[in-house]
Structure 1
Amino acid sequence: MTVKSLISSLTQQEDLNFLLTNRIPRAALTRFMGWFSKIENPVVRDFSIGCWKLFSDLDLSEAKKIHFKSLHDCFVRELKPGLRPVDADPHIVVSPSDGIIGAHGSISDGELFQIKGAPYSLIDLIGDPALVETHRSGKFVTLRLTSSMYHRFHAPHDAHVEQVTLIHGDTWNVNPIALKRIEKLFCKNERAVIRTRLKSGDALTIVPVAAILVASIRLHFLDLVLNGQTRGPLQFPCDVNVTKGEELGWFEHGSTIIVLAPEHFEFCANVSEWGRIRAGEPLLRNPRA
């Protein structure tokens, strides 16, 4: 058995995985990782990326460049042009990111699921009663980004960004093992609520949720990095138009994006639980577009 397969076998043991990734000083480790990952030293960089490859299925063949200044530079890597073509059908809302599709379906009176049998409420997730009413009976889909995935996320459709709200929180791991054990986990973690409106007039809300080692979310249209150190007003009014597929920002590691859509939207045929999806691929269909 190779070292990599041994590590994989150990981390797949749920109790051990949960212990190693959650029963540690999460906030302190996340702050340390934020500092450490930006060290621009070839020895630190190469050792860190080597360890990352050992613990994951990291594949850098799609990266736009092959040399990185730091571990962080590798985390937020751009891809070679043309690798994430965007579905141009105006009826289609595309996936904002690469990811593994988790719980998805209809929101029932403001309640949705982080995993089967584990409900949570919209008000706990987004904190805005008016926005809750907008999505009370809508659709939701959860996209989980693993640590080795492409970490940038994009506009799922032509839209007007109206507001961003940062909600401070914890940094629990967001893998399925933790989702089964921690009640209302997404509502506990650091997250941003990005309110957008499509040209059709429909409200589409994107909720990037941070996690352990990744309590920072970069948003280009605000020219800000939002994290636990963000102080002052946590609501950011916006008046920004974005085009379908346009890069909105990035996570500084793997995490989760929850998309909230209107009730009349339909899931595309390729959407299935635990299926993989890439940025730009069909996610939802708006029959009224």
Structure 2
Amino acid sequence: MKIRRLRDALLQQEDLNFLLTNRVPRILLTRFMGWFSKLRHPWVRDASIAVWRLFADLDLSDAKKTRFDSLHDCFIRELKPGSRAVDPDPSVLASPCDAIVGACGAVNGIEVFQAKGFPYSVAELFGDARAVEPFRDGCYATLRLTSSMYHRFHAPHDSRVERVTYLSGDTWNVNPIALKRIERLFCRNERALIEARLHAGGHRIAMVPVAAILVASLRLRCLDVLLNVRYRGPKRTDCEADYRKGEEMGWFEHGSTIIVFAPKGFTLAKGIETDTPIRMGQALMKSA
């Protein structure tokens, strides 16, 4: 209990938090964590998960496995069948992941916010001015996955992924403290643009998983490659990958952020606002 109080006190010191999670060799530390987390030694695994529990509210009660091969195995854990209910309403885009809702609302032309007073261009985020046009004056929601959350993400609707664009970049922390200090942070970090089309109605949607310090690795089921700081393959890959609503699309190696975009005519679902917790499958957006 005393350790948790100390942890909470440290995390509330914004200057210290920012220094410890950003003013470090971010990419080097991320590569080290990628190697360390995959060590399969029982002592390393057990000690790492025990330390993780001290600094995060880690709940493994809904995990499919009860024993893990490594820290990494625990990070990318699957859920027990039936652990999440997916909203069946065909007018609803479901949340692709467990998260805390960050900045969200209407897209102002092609501009959105990462935090109050910190706008950025969706064209810069996408790395392609043409790709942003379907979402002009549309709707967006920023979904932040904390370190202890379930780290896999799923299809918001019955849809086909048509293109994936990988954009290499930095690995700044994406917590609220950093978002209030680093302009255009999401546009600076490593990320992928997933462009999809809904089976019903043909509406375009987009998802942008953004990597962060310690988590600059992304797996997509529609691509047989690991997207990370060492990836040297094509930046843009055309796909024809069909998903049912709620079907798993991929996962972060740890946790980070997913920004969801829908076209004009969609609005946030009832109750969705900044700092709201949400679980995979709950209503995120709704068409008119």
Do these two structures clear the TM 0.5 threshold for a shared fold by scoring above it? Answer: yes
1:174-225 residue CA offsets vs partner (Å, 9 max, x unmatched): 0000000000000000000000001211110000000000000100121221
SS at match of 2:207: strand
TM-score (norm 2): 0.98
Q: Give the structure 2 partner of residue 237 of structure 1.
A: 238
1:60-117 residue CA offsets vs partner (Å, 9 max, x unmatched): 1111111000000000001111011111111111000000001001111211000111
Q: Give the structure 2 partner of residue 270 of structure 1.
A: 271
Q: Give the structure 1 partner of residue 253 of structure 2.
A: 252
For structure 1, the 5+ residue unaligned runs are none
Matches for 1:139-288 after TM superposition, within 5 Å: 139-199=139-199, 200-287=201-288
* Inter-partner Cα distance in structure 1 for 2:50 and 2:168: 32
Matches for 1:43-192 after TM superposition, within 5 Å: 43-192=43-192
* Inter-partner Cα distance in structure 2 for 1:127 and 1:221: 20
Q: Aligned letter for 1:202?
A: H
* Inter-partner Cα distance in structure 2 for 1:7 and 1:273: 24
Q: Aligned letter for 2:203?
A: D
Asked if the contact 2:267–2:287 (Cα under 8 Å) also holds between the matched residues in 1, the reply is yes
Identify the range of structure 1 (127-136 vs 201-210) with the bigger mean alpha-carbon deviation: 127-136
Cα RMSD after superposing both structures: 0.9
SS at match of 2:43: helix
* Inter-partner Cα distance in structure 1 for 2:48 and 2:157: 36
1:15 matched to 2:53: no
SS at match of 1:217: strand
SS at match of 1:173: coil
* Inter-partner Cα distance in structure 2 for 1:239 and 1:24: 40
Asked if the contact 1:218–1:226 (Cα under 8 Å) also holds between the matched residues in 2, the reply is yes
Q: Give 1:132 deviation, angstroms.
A: 1.6
* Inter-partner Cα distance in structure 2 for 1:52 and 1:25: 21
Asked if the contact 2:205–2:262 (Cα under 8 Å) also holds between the matched residues in 1, the reply is yes
Q: Aligned letter for 1:161?
A: V
TM-score (norm 1): 0.98
Asked if the contact 1:270–1:282 (Cα under 8 Å) also holds between the matched residues in 2, the reply is no
Asked if the contact 2:211–2:217 (Cα under 8 Å) also holds between the matched residues in 1, the reply is yes
SS at match of 1:174: coil
* Inter-partner Cα distance in structure 2 for 1:204 and 1:101: 18
Q: Give the count of matched residue pairs.
A: 287
Q: Give 1:266 deviation, angstroms.
A: 1.7
What is the percent sequence identity of the aligned residues?
A: 60
* Inter-partner Cα distance in structure 1 for 2:270 and 2:229: 38
Asked if the contact 2:30–2:213 (Cα under 8 Å) also holds between the matched residues in 1, the reply is yes
Q: Give 1:40 deviation, angstroms.
A: 0.5
For structure 2, the 5+ residue unaligned runs are none
* Inter-partner Cα distance in structure 2 for 1:142 and 1:44: 34
Q: Aligned letter for 2:206?
A: T
Q: Aligned letter for 1:113?
A: F
Q: Give 1:232 deviation, angstroms.
A: 2.6
1:224-267 residue CA offsets vs partner (Å, 9 max, x unmatched): 21111110311111011111000001001110000010110021
After TM superposition, what 4+ stretches of structure 1 lie above 4 angstroms from structure 2?
none
Q: Aligned letter for 2:262?
A: A
1:26-61 residue CA offsets vs partner (Å, 9 max, x unmatched): 000000000000000100000100110011111111
* Inter-partner Cα distance in structure 1 for 2:40 and 2:9: 32
Q: Aligned letter for 2:219?
A: R
SS at match of 1:129: coil
Q: Give 1:129 deviation, angstroms.
A: 1.4
